[in-house]
Chain A
Amino acid sequence: MNEFINTPSTFKFISSRQFIILGILSFFFLFAIFISISIGSFKISIIDYFLGNLSQIQNKVLLNIRTPRVILAGLVGASLSLSGACLQGLFRNPLADPGLIGVSSGAALGAALTIVIGSEIIPNFMLATYILPLAAITGAAFVILMLFIFTKGFGVQSTIYMLLVGIAVNAFAGVGIGILTYISSESELRSLTFWTMGSFGGITWSLIFPAIIITTVVLFWTLRISRKLDLLQLGELEAHRLGVNIKKLRFNIIISSAIMVGISVSLSGMIGFVGLVVPHLVRLLGGVNHNYTLIGSIFAGASLMIFADLLSRILIEPAELPVGLITSALGSPFFLWLIFKMRTE
């Protein structure tokens, strides 16, 4: 029985067709990285980089501005999609997305607090680049703590209860953001608005370095639960009978999602629809077993986000569109089509 759940190889339950799809997705991922690093408003040739023909400023733009940005886009895309896929599996609800458990609104509240009130308390420019992500992380952590307390360590029987707590937390954060919006000055309001539309601009290595380490660890850690998620689709009772520790599974998924979403939102702002749509896209391509969906979501989410960020950089260059605008613009029609298709089938 235990062997069945804690299967040593994640790939054991992946069909050959799914292998091919995963291969294509990972190729797409590499392609997205290459294209995204090569293109931008600043003209830089990658070939010249390897030949050492770049000027000092080209080198700096490539290595210190564009590359960290592409990496962050990939990380955030992968994190949001993976946590979306996990939460959809956990709640057995195709509409679940990382925003649902309230973690993103918690992070948003933290960020809003810094933008609106922080400017008065924190001396100008001191830590300006770091204080916002830190506050957002704190907000996300606070929401996790709240969830933990209200669900008695995620141990409450029904998953619906968790959902409801998430909704309530979302509403609370919404009130907080509303109040802050009201008392904000016009310029703070502008900053707040841009933050809620998401951006990967202004990111530096020192900021994403910790994010890379933690997110990568959590990504791999999360992949281990895929088989249990499959069993959970039979129903909580059945899964329990088959030896799945539901309480522990729930704990693992919520905590890992919260960490991934918290880091993503704190570094890039609110980016909609990716966590919701990408898992659907992956399932549509190759099937519903989680060994495949989780890995697929990582690659598809990362590639899509990198492409969305590329679009945000080049569509109106040298200015820039908020990336959340692009993901929502691409995601919402796709989602409508998906719903329509589900209905007609």
Chain B
Amino acid sequence: MNQALLNIAFFVLFFHFLKGEDKVFLNCETTQNSSRIVVAGGSITEIIYFLNSEEKIVALDVTSNYPEKAKELPSIGYVRNLSAEGILSMNPSIVFGEDDMGPPGVIKQLRDINIDLRIIPEEKTIDGILDKIYCIASIIDKVPNAESKINSTLIPDILSIEKRLSTSTLIPKRVMFIFSIKGNKIIVAGSGTSGDGFIKMTGSENIFSTIEGWKSVSQEAIIKENPDYVIMSKRDLHNSKTIKSISENPIFKNIRAFEEQNIIFDDAMAMLGFGPRTIKSVLNAVNIMYLKNE
């Protein structure tokens, strides 16, 4: 009896303290003070470097590994497992976070302390990348910078991607995105993943869009779907030395893309980060896959 009362009291107390939390709105208003920036999220770091405002960054998370110089800054840990006190100890004037920033308790602590916290949502399209750049530029008051950099470096690439994909004879290639090969376990991108987003940006079709998330697939499933092209991380190239040795790997036997060596290697973070670099990667992939169309 006592126990039951205790339990009830506990839940009553718990619910008493439940409070709804405000939803995250994309807030691109210019911040009052952007002198000390803390970033949790690789693509945001990349964008701030892209806007040449890196001198304002005081600390980064571990996913911020591009450009190489960024790794020299103090690390606040992994983007999903941050510490409020650690972030605050860097005395930031503004904190940027990718939408997977966490844990939720830490975000709540930061909000409670009235720090200027901006969580930037991710949209896996070219427009999404441009929006992200403009939003961050607007927050740190660098819009003119963003415009000139986008016009000079990104727009030409975007135009060539569009040009290639807009040919009337274009037949979308059927593509497989391999995240990693460990032994004979092949992890591929299913729907909803950043790999799937990347394939779609290249105007192609993900052969494993029926699976959700990053999953390992059997050799038979790959042979059945028989992709035209395979996209892989450069890291796997280092592991198995050469494209030829990958094609000769017995687990890839009877798969057309491997037999014809239709393999696209790129930096995984560049392809999957959805920052400025991703556009170059898309162009590279589109060039390889659709050049023959012209």
Contacts and interface: CB of A to CB of B under 8 A. Distances in A.
A222 to B, nearest CB: 13
A206 interface: yes
Given A130-B17, A318-B87, A190 B108 contact: no
Given A187-B100, A191-B103, A213-B13, A317 B108 contact: no
Contacts of B100: 187
Interface in A22-61: 40-43, 57, 60-61
Contact of B86 (A123, A129, A186, A319): A319
Contacts of A201: 81-84, 103, 105-106
Given A129-B104, A201-B106, A318 B59 contact: yes
A128 B24 CA distance: 12
A57 B20 CA distance: 24
A148 to B, nearest CB: 11
Contacts of A65: 84-85, 88, 109, 113
Interface string A53-95: 0000100110011100000000000000000000000000000
Interface stretch (B28-36, B72-80, B132-140, B157-165): B72-80
B81 A199 contact: yes
Contacts of A317: 86, 89
Nearest to B10: A214
A194 interface: yes
How large, as a class, is the contact surface on chain A?
A: 35 or more
A331 B214 CA distance: 35
B172 interface: no
Contacts of A270: none
Contacts of B170: none
Given A128-B21, A129-B21, A191-B102, A40 B109 contact: no
Nearest to B19: A206
Interface residues of B, number: 49
A185 interface: yes
Contacts of B109: 64-65, 202, 204
Interface string A116-131: 0000000111111110
A183 B107 CA distance: 26
Contacts of B9: 214
Interface string B54-98: 000001001000000000001111101111111111100000000
A128 B23 CA distance: 11
Given A185-B213, A319-B83, A320-B83, A42 B104 contact: no
B86 A202 contact: no
A217 B13 CA distance: 15
Given A134-B14, A199-B81, A129 B89 contact: no
Interface centre among B10, B74, B75, B87 (most CB of A within 10 A): B10
A322 B81 CA distance: 9
Contacts of B108: 128-129, 202, 204
B156 interface: no
A184 interface: yes
A146 to B, nearest CB: 16
B6 interface: yes
A281 interface: no
A157 B44 CA distance: 62
Contacts of A333: none
A184 B86 contact: no
A315 B24 CA distance: 32
Contacts of A13: none
B88 A204 contact: no
B81 A318 contact: no
Contacts of B75: 316, 318-319
Contact of A207 (B17, B59, B74): B17
B112 interface: yes
Interface string A292-323: 00000000000000000000010011111010
B193 interface: yes
A66 B88 CA distance: 12
A69 to B, nearest CB: 8
B85 A40 contact: yes
Interface string B106-149: 11110011000000000000000000000000000000000000
B89 A40 contact: yes
Nearest to A190: B80
Contacts of A40: 85, 89
B105 A125 contact: no
Nearest to B83: A320
A183 B85 contact: no
A183 B83 CA distance: 28
A43 B90 CA distance: 10
A242 interface: no
Given A194-B78, A202-B103, A210-B13, 8 more contacts: A40-B89, A64-B109, A65-B88, A126-B21, A130-B18, A141-B7, A185-B192, A318-B76
29 contacts: A40-B85, A41-B85, A61-B84, A61-B88, A61-B113, A64-B113, A65-B84, A124-B24, A126-B21, A127-B18, A129-B108, A130-B14, A183-B213, A185-B192, A185-B193, A185-B213, A187-B100, A190-B80, A201-B103, A201-B106, A202-B103, A202-B108, A202-B109, A206-B19, A207-B105, A214-B6, A317-B86, A318-B87, A318-B89
Interface of A: 40-43, 57, 60-61, 64-66, 123-130, 132-134, 137, 141, 183-187, 190-191, 194, 199, 201-204, 206-207, 209-210, 213-214, 217-218, 255, 259, 313, 316-320, 322
